[in-house]
Amino acid sequence: MSQEGEKMISFKYKIAGGLVLGLLATVSVGTSHAAKLNVVTSVAPITSIVKNVGGDLVSVKGIVPEGVNSHTFEPAPSDAKVLREADLIIMNGLHLELPTINLANKVKKSTTKILNLGDAAITKNDWKFDFSFPAEKGHPNPHLWPNMALSQRYAEVARDALIAVDPKNADIYYANTTEYLAKMAKLDAAIFECVKSIPAKNRKLVTYHDSYAYFAPRYGMKVVGAIQPSDFAEPTPREVIRIIEQLKKENVPAVFGSEVFPSKTLEQIAKEAGAKFIDELADDDLPGEVGDANHTFLGMMANNMKIMTNALGGSPACVADLDVSDAAGTH
Ligand SMILES: [Zn+2]
């Protein structure tokens, strides 16, 4: 073999070797969890939003299990370990997760920030105090996310916080968020359609759990009442009688329970008032199972609108063709 030929062979070898090394490097980056940002969240809607904004770059752990009362949730000792390892902690704020935030402040790395989405999205002037969140208790209604304008704000605030921790990937966070905001905007428009399909006299909500305080004014509905007392116990007999009278007076067609808070009392109230009892609205319990295309925050809101329109005389066609799945790469 000529010298020229030998050089050629060793050159080819080097290229092949380089390619193999390159591939190995790609594989190890692609599968290594150490390379991802550890983000800890609280309730499922926030976990879902952060997953869509962070995509492949983050590993998101929501510590409030679905189906659990997030308002009285106390973190387990095992959550201390999760919070200790977090690179960023994203909560709703507005006093929803006080015990978890107390624990996080004790155990988190000194460099890890706690972001409260609700406090970043609105000012104290916009806080709502109402049925289950009376002003005298000092804790505002924390359910901002069913209002899609506010949950879009959540996505933007989460994006900016992720970029502050991981600035080299800013372009990817921007692209993920833009894609997600477009999906959210479609759902927002669909919710307006849903409410428009409900006869005007029926655009009233009576719920057990008080989670539509920020939703109702955006979409032209009225929260006539929320039945759950501020201590999350069952209402007193006197309160029950008052609610039944109010329901009859307002001629409310349906009252809505929540899967997280099954209430025999609400069922009884509905019966006495001659209203339908629908026990399926959700504010932080995602539909289906983990891995289902609709097991997302957007899926939960689309499902709520299907239930609401059906019960109040509207048409659920408004949410029939929506894509509520997570963006590719979220997990
Ligand atoms: Zn709630």
At residue 264 the predicted structure's pLDDT band, cuts being 50, 70 and 90, is confident
pLDDT computed for residue 67 by the predictor: 87
Alpha helices in the chain (DSSP H): 3-31, 44-54, 77-84, 98-107, 117-121, 148-165, 170-197, 215-219, 237-250, 264-273, 297-312
pLDDT digits 0-9 by tens, 30-54: 444 448 999 999 999 999 999 999 9
Architecture in CATH of 37-185: 3-Layer(aba) Sandwich (3.40)
Tell me the one-letter amino acid at 130: D
Strands of the sheet containing 204-207, edge to edge, are: 222-226, 204-207, 254-258, 276-281
Find the 135 Cα to ligand 1 centroid distance in Å: 17
Find the 96 Cα to ligand 1 centroid distance in Å: 9
The DSSP letter of residue 327 is P
Find the 266 Cα to ligand 1 centroid distance in Å: 17
Find the 53 Cα to ligand 1 centroid distance in Å: 23
pLDDT digits 0-9 by tens, 133-158: 999 999 999 999 999 999 999 999 99
Find the 23 Cα to ligand 1 centroid distance in Å: 47
Find the 199 Cα to ligand 1 centroid distance in Å: 27
pLDDT above 70 for 24 = no
Find the 225 Cα to ligand 1 centroid distance in Å: 15
The pLDDT mean for the chain works out to: 90
Hey, how many other C-beta atoms are within 10 angstroms of the C-beta on 91?
A: 25
CA 56 to chain centre: 19
- Taking the C-alpha atoms of residue 77 and residue 21, their distance in angstroms, rounded to an integer, is 42
At residue 234 the predicted structure's pLDDT band, cuts being 50, 70 and 90, is confident
Q: How far is CA 218 from CA 150, 151, 193, 319, in A?
A: 10, 12, 12, 17
Find the 118 Cα to ligand 1 centroid distance in Å: 14
Nearest Cα neighbor of 107 from 158, 40, 160, 36 is 40
Residue linked to tokens 């806080």? 127
pLDDT computed for residue 217 by the predictor: 98
pLDDT computed for residue 263 by the predictor: 81
For 197-319, CATH number out of 1.10.340.30, 3.40.640.10, 3.40.190.10, 3.40.50.1980 equals 3.40.50.1980
The DSSP letter of residue 214 is T
Find the 72 Cα to ligand 1 centroid distance in Å: 10
Find the 17 Cα to ligand 1 centroid distance in Å: 56
The DSSP letter of residue 321 is T
pLDDT computed for residue 329 by the predictor: 65
Find the 146 Cα to ligand 1 centroid distance in Å: 11
Find the 64 Cα to ligand 1 centroid distance in Å: 12
Find the 226 Cα to ligand 1 centroid distance in Å: 12
Where do you find CATH 3.40.50.1980 in the chain?
37-185, 197-319
**Residue 92 near residue 116, CB atoms below 8 Å:** yes
pLDDT computed for residue 8 by the predictor: 46
